Structure formats: C-alpha cells, structure tokens
Structure 1
Amino acid sequence: MNSGAAVVLVFLVIAAVLVVGGITWGIVALVRRQAYINSVKQRGWLFVNSPAFDAVARLGNPPFGIGFERRPDDQIIGATSTGRPFQVIEYKNDHWSGWVGMVTLSRRLPELWITGGETGPRYGVLAQDVPAPPQLGPGWRVGALDVPYANAVLTAQLCQQLNALAAGQPGVNLSIDGDQVVVLDPPRKELDKLGQWLEQLGALAAVIDATPLDQWIQPEPPPRLTFYHHPEWYWIGVDDSLLEFTPVNRGGHGHRTDQVIRGRDGDGPPFIAFEHHWKTQRTESYTDSNGNSQTRTVTEHHSEPILGFQLPIRMPPLTVGRKGLSSGIEFESAEFNRRFAIFAQDPKYAYDVIHPRQMEYLMASQGAPFRIEGEWVWFSPGEHSQPAIAHCSAYLRGFLGGVPRFVWRNLGLSESPFPPLEIPAAR
C-alpha cells in the first residue's frame, strides 16, 4: 500500500469513528432526555416539547417584552403542594437565552427587580435603585419605578423567604411581572432540587399575596404580544400592503415585509416599522474545472429598515440630516451648520421650524436623519430594533413639540397637536 492510500484509509477510519461516536452520543442524549421527561411526568407535572407563544404571552418584563425574536422552548407545567400554578420554561430572545421559573400571584402588580449573589441586572430593565432592606443582608439590589410600592413589598417576611431561596444557590435574579414571580436560572436539571425550589418560590409568592398591596393592582393587559414600557405598541408580523405607500427600494423582485410593528408612545404620532426584504439577480462569469468560461445567475438578498410616523396634517417637505457633500440651508449657528444639513422647498418655512431652540434640541439629541413628506415622517434608523424605534419616537416627539404654534396654525390647525415637552433631550 502506498503512502497516499494509507493516508486515505486513516482518514476514512477517523471519519467512521466520528460518525459512530456522533450517533452514539445522539442516542445517549435522546435516552437521557426521555428519562428526564418520564421523571417529570411521574411527579404529576406536564412536559411540553414545543409550547405555543401563549405560554409567555402574559409576560412583559425582561427577558420577556424585549426584541422581535421571542422563542419559548421546553416547558414544565404543574402546581406546588399548596396548589399554586408554576411553569419552568426555556426561553430565547434577541439578547438572552436560558431557563426561567415562575409561580402565579393572586394579583397583577407593578414590576419589581431583586437580585443577590452572583447575578446582575437583566438586559433592558428600566428602573431606579431602591435601598435594600437591612434584613436582606449584604449583596442584594432592588429596582423599581415606584419606591413606596417596593418598600411595601419588601416586608421582613419576604426578606426571610428571599434568603431561604438564595441558600445553596449562586445567585437570585427575581422579578414581579404582572401576576407572576419570575426567577432566572431555576435548578431544573435535578428534579428533586427543582421541586424544593418551586416550593420555596411558592412560599415567597404566598407572602406577597398576604401583603396589603391592593392599591397597586394593575389592569389586565390586552391579549397581544407586548413590548416592555411601550404599552401601545403591537405586533403585526407581516403586512405586505405597506409596500404600496412606504418609501421602500423598488428594484428587484420578491418584495415582502417582516417583523411589522404599529403603535405610538404617549401623545406622540403613531408609527409603522418593519423590515423590507427583496431580491436581485445578476449574471457573472467564472471558469469551470475544465478551464472553460461559463456564466451563472446569482441571486442576492437585501433588507432595509422602514420606520415612519403619521402626522395629523400634511406638512411641507423638510429633511433633517447629517452634514454630507451637500450643505443645505444655512442657519445662524455655525456649529449647527457644521453638523446638520437641512433641505426644504421653502427656506422661510425651514427657518420657522428650525429656530434657535430647535437647533439646540437637535444638536443635543443625536437623533437619526428624517424627512417630512406630506402626512409622514420617514426615518433612516440604521436598524430595525426596539431601541431604535423607541429613540426615534422620543426624538421626533421632542422635535414636533418644538414646532411653533403659528406654524401649525398656518397649516390649518387651531393649536399645536404636540405641546412642548419640558424634558431633557433624548440621548
């Protein structure tokens, strides 16, 4: 046998060993998984292999309520010894993946965040720090939007339950999300430990139920996919009719929408946001293995974010962008002229809208470029994401609040539809 054949033989043997090893490992993993599922069922719990999104639809605080990709996976459902419903579920979004355990409360309550040990704040949480009660001991952090509410929840009895839950665990990352007490990283691999942990979590929930918190009861949310701190946003998914009037790229073929969202923030203008996908084809030349020149058709896939806000009245064209090759209209501020390019058919209208205070706002806010076309304001957000939409929404609301009242009156409205906001510019 020559050396080349020997090398090939060795390679084939190694490949065969790897294939057999992979198959063996797959069989072992499958057997272990089935044994785990059987153990779950023996406890009287239910194991769901591919739960519907309804399993987490009522949850709106991180890790839920964040991003556009939200995927629940394996789920365990049951009740504690006192009959309190629980679920332990695998969950993944754009920014986090892992397991979550939760038990049900008797009331829907505002968000509350409690962490201790080897853990940290969850991605996207918007809350202020609240001093942790001394009964908790060192290393605990508390976050809430309503400090009196947080103080009312954190009774001595709850602190005792939190310390009991933390015993033997590297850390505790707990929150109240509506009518659920939610904890990250439950000990789900060992069912005996998981059962004890769920009983502890149920006892903790019982303490919260027994605490007088009725003044903070929250209303039932609408039955739809929610967005954290954006209660008026709602998920559409696909709506290709939007392609008929939105400023999408018209080239190519196979145009479609994805991740369509509608909504508004407070008294700001309503918006539509989605990702536009399309394809183009081109012909390229190449040399085949025989040295002959050939041609082939290559399909390229494209996408772009689309974000538009609908105004209550048609407004003259106006573009607010970053300084580029075109200088645009000159304003009295040299710094503003250096950083911004403003375009309008009527310079006087631009001066009326972009007054000195408006210039200060635009320079401080660092917002994305936008253009006003009739009843719509179209942004170039750079990406289709929850933070990008939220930032553009706040940025535009501040801008519209700075449009003088006489401009709105000249357009046919008796008053400004967007009163000035006495808040710092969004950053």
Structure 2
Amino acid sequence: MSSTTVVVVLVLLVAAGIVWGIVAIVRRQQYIKSLRQRGWTFVNSPTFDAVARLGNPPFGIGFRRRPDDQIMGRTSSGRAFQVIEYTSEHWSGWVGMVTLSRRLPELWITGGQTQPRFGVAATGVPSPPQLGAGWQIGALDPAFAAEVLTPQVCERLNAMAAGQRGVNLSIDADQLVVLEPPRKDADLLGPWLEQLATVADAIDSASLDSWIMPELPPRLTFYHHPDWHWIGVDDSLLNLPPVTQSGHDHSTSEVIRGRDGDGPPFVAFTHHWKTTRTESYTDSEGRTQTRTVTENHSEPILGFELPAWMPWLQVNRRGFGRGISFESEAFNDQFAVSAQDAKFAYDVIHPRQMEYLMANPPVGFRIADNWVWFSPGQHSHLTIAHCSAFIHGFLSRIPRFVWRDLGLSDTPYPPLDTAVLPPA
C-alpha cells in the first residue's frame, strides 16, 4: 500500500469518526428533547445525592459508585420516578424506580430470563400461586414477602412481565426499583413507568404499616451494614502503625469507619505513596545516562480497635515457620502463631478457639496494643465484612479471665453463633 493510499484511508477514517460523532450528538439532543417534551427533567451529571437514599444492590456495594444520566418526573397518577445510569465495581447499567408511600424492608422479585443481583443476601421464599412459574422471591423475613405479594400485586407483576424477557424488581426503602428499563425510547419508557406505577399502587394498597422502616439520613450507605460510614479521605490515619512510612507523597482514599452490631469498631482505607530512584541506562549512542524513576504504590489497611491493651500476638497461615506449638497437630499444621507472651497465646488460642480458626481460616492478623490489624490483600466491602464477622467471633471466644487480667470487669463481646461466616 502506497503512502498516498495510507493518507487517504486515514483521512476517510477521521472523517467517518467526525460524522459519527455529529450523528451521535444530534441523536442525543433529539432524545433529550423528547424527554423534556413529556415534562420530564434530564440531568447530564447528577450528584451522588441522586442515589444516596438507596442501599440495596446494585446500590450499597463497593466504594467506586458513579451515577450518570438521570431522568426524573412524575407518572400520570403523580407518582415520582427516576431513571438513572449507575456504575460500580460490580455492576453497570440503567435503573428505573418509582416512589412508594412507605419505607419498607428489602424484597427481591425476579422473573423470566433474569438473574438475581450480585451481593444480595436474602432468604428464598416460595412464590405465591398467583405469580405462576418462573419467579424467584427473596426476603429477610418470609412473612413480609407474604404480606406484600397480594393477589393484586401478583396480577400487576404478571402484567409487567408479559412481553418482556424478564423482570428484576426490588423494594429499597421507599423506592420500587427495577433493573434495565427501556430507557432508549421515551415512547417505550413512558408506558413502562406507568406500568411500574401500577405495581407501586398495589403495594401501597397492601396492609404494610407494621413493616415501616425508620427514616435514615441521606449518605453513602453499605448493604446490611447500617453503622458503616464513608469518610473518603483522612490523612491523619497515615500515622497508624501498619502504614508504610518510606517513600513520599503519602495519601489515603476510600476511608471507611464503622462497626457491625456490638463488635469492635474498625477503620479501613487504601494508602497510596510514591518512591523515587535514580537509575543508569545506555542511550542510542552508547553513552551512559541517568534518569529519575517514580513508582506508585498502594496497600489496603484494615484495623479493629480493642477496648483494652493486649500483648502482641500474630496468627498467620502456616508457611515455613511453625510458631508456637499447640496441643492440636491439625491446628499446628494449618497455622503459625507468634506471641510476645506465650501464656497469653495459650490463654487466647484454647481448643474451642482452634476449632473456630480451622473452621473459618482468616487472612493473617496481629494484635498490637489496642488494635487488631489484618493483612486483607484487598480493600473491599466483602473483605471488611468477613474480617469484621471473624474478629467478633474470635474476641467473643477469649475467656473472661483474660479480659479481667487486662483490666476489664467482664468480656466486652458476648458469645456469638458464628459457625459460618459471610464469604470474603
């Protein structure tokens, strides 16, 4: 191919790209105009407040959450609705929702060729006969599902599913949420929203006042962890012991604080820093030169604050080192325990504790002063939840006399039934 031909091809490609871009812009403007002609509002870059009240998947999971194009308005019956593009680490797509008259517990209704949502933790309950085959129902309390799924609600759900590949619907507080609405065409989206509003009408007509949930402040929430709080950045945490101190330009991101129930409070974040070095190289003329190379680094930090100072103790999966020897060879083969005080280690790692550790092998962790520091490997919602459940179970198995020796009047963590922990 000659150079002239190459130039012509490149010019044609650039021209085609420009034409495609112009067509895309025109189509987008026509689409936005069609929305506004219906009296709806279109927001190109909504703030996080648009989804801050939502806490169930696809919301409420992950640290990188981004709302995009947003459509707002009211149905013909005056019911407020929102259709919004949403992206997180675990899901990306469009979500449509209408407002309910009450804040209600979570409920999951999936029918047709759709899959349950990522991260949902609910109990499967039988589908009522009125819904027919092919529906999956999930709820934290089966009694709530039974009271929601009245014959009227089932009739509206079947009508909504007719002619569609499937319906993926949930109750998220005072919002009735459905994945993947037909948002590309306003002439399709309008009737779809009207139909969704009829489902909301039927739910509002059900006797559900005994299930009303309290109002919560609008903020970034975490699914099934109401006491977790998004901080974002807190560089005062850079002085904590596990943070790497070498290098320069240290910073924090995705800082989370919180606790689960009466377990120990935690802090979790990503630590970023840079290192700079000078290296030699040979240039194209054979001369030795030097250059400065800067590398970016990051590490996840996860710590749980204790109510008392404790001697240093470390628990890792067995590697080359064996650590302190315990009476269980099965435990010794699986774990390596090191401690500042061997008696303290034997008091804490007793036979019942060994059984717990072997049944729920944690990532490595160490007790240092009044903190428990994990080596999580990644900074994620699921990892924090798993470590939080694990350490609560671990601490609840420490005998009362140990806590009293540490200066407390009794154990701060009552026994828990934590035979099975949530997945990491």
Does TM-score exceed 0.5, indicating one fold? yes
- Counterpart of 1:56 in structure 2 is 51
Question: Partner amino acid for 1:41?
Answer: R
8 Å contact kept, 1:305–1:382: yes
Offset at 1:423?
3.2
For 1:264, the equivalent position in structure 2 comes to: 259
2:2 to 4, 7, 18: 7
Q: Distance in 2 between matches of 1:295 and 1:27?
A: 47
The residue correspondences of 1:289-300 to structure 2 (distance < 5 A) are 289-300=284-295
Other structure's SS at 2:291 match = strand
> Could you tell me how far apart the structure 2 residues matched to 1:388 and 1:107 are?
33
Per the normalisation by structure 2, the TM-score is: 0.98
Determine if the alignment matches structure 1 residue 351 to structure 2 residue 346. yes
1:220 equivalent in structure 2 = 215
1:86 corresponds to which residue? 81
Q: Which residue of 2 aligns with 1:206?
A: 201
Q: How many residue pairs end up in the alignment?
A: 422
1:113 aligns with 2:108: yes
Determine the C-alpha separation between the residues in 1 that align with 2:45 and 2:383.
31
Matching of residue 17 in structure 1 with residue 12 in structure 2 = yes
Provide the rounded CA distance (Å) in 2 between the counterparts of 1:88 and 1:137: 28
2:329 paired residue number: 334
Alignment of 1:144-223 (within 5 A): 144-223=139-218
Whether the aligned pair in 2 keeps the contact of 1:327 and 1:341 (CA below 8 Å) is yes
Supply the distance in 2 between the matched residues of 1:169 and 1:191 (Cα, whole angstroms): 17
- Following superposition, the deviation at residue 245 of structure 1 comes to 2.4
CA distance in 1, matches of 2:168, 2:141: 19
The structure 1 residue matched to 2:65, chosen from 70, 80, 90, is 70
Cα offsets for 1:171-194 (capped at 9, x unmatched): 100000000000000011111111
- Residues 220-239 of structure 1: pairs in structure 2 closer than 5 A: 220-239=215-234
CA distance in 2, matches of 1:315, 1:39: 65
Match of 2:309 among 309, 314, 324: 314
**Distance of 1:388 and 1:254 partners within structure 2:** 27
- The residue number in structure 1 matching 2:236 is 241
| Match in the other structure for 2:277 | 282
Aligned counterpart in structure 2 of residue 395 of structure 1, from 381, 390, 396: 390
SS in 2 for 1:329: coil
CA deviation after TM superposition for structure 1 residue 16, in Å: 1.3
Unmatched 5+ stretches in structure 2: none
Counterpart of 2:262 in 1: which secondary structure?
A: coil
Q: Which amino acid aligns with 1:202?
A: A
CA contact 2:66–2:88 (8 Å) conserved in 1: yes
2:377 alignment partner in structure 1: 382
Partner of residue 140, structure 1: 135
Q: Which amino acid aligns with 1:169?
A: Q
The Cα of 1:266 is off from its aligned counterpart by: 0.5
Offset of residue 294 of structure 1: 2.2
Aligned counterpart in structure 1 of residue 399 of structure 2, from 404, 413, 420: 404
What SS is found at the alignment partner of 2:416? coil
Q: How high is the TM-score relative to the length of structure 1?
A: 0.97
Local SS of the residue matching 1:395: helix
Question: Structure 2: which amino acid aligns with 1:350?
Answer: A
SS in 1 for 2:77: coil
Displacement of 1:325 in angstroms is: 2.6
Q: Deviations over 1:86-126 (max 9, x none)?
A: 00000001110000000000000000000111101000000
**CA distance, structure 2, for counterparts of residue 100 and residue 425 of structure 1:** 33
Partner residue in 2 for 1:3: none
Task: Report the 3-state secondary structure (helix = DSSP H, G, I; strand = E; otherwise coil) of the residue aligned with 1:400.
Answer: helix
Q: How far did 1:142 drift?
A: 0.5
Pairing 1:30–2:22 present: no
1:336 partner letter:
F
- For residue 271 of structure 1, report the CA deviation from its aligned partner: 0.2
- On the 8 A contact 2:49/2:218 being kept in 1, the answer is no
**How far has the Cα of 1:285 moved from its partner?**
2.7
Q: Which moved more, 1:194-203 or 1:244-253?
A: 244-253
Shift of 1:18: 1.1
Unaligned stretches of 5+ residues in structure 1: 1-5
Q: CA RMSD in A?
A: 1.0
Moved more, 40-49 or 12-21: 12-21
CA distance, structure 2, for counterparts of residue 60 and residue 68 of structure 1: 13
Q: Distance in 2 between matches of 1:264 and 1:345?
A: 28
Instruction: Tell me the CA shift for residue 322 of structure 1.
Output: 1.2
Residues of 2 paired with 1:425 and 1:176: CA distance?
27
Match of 1:370 among 365, 371, 374: 365
Deviates more, 1:293-302 or 1:197-206: 293-302
Q: Which amino acid aligns with 1:326?
A: G
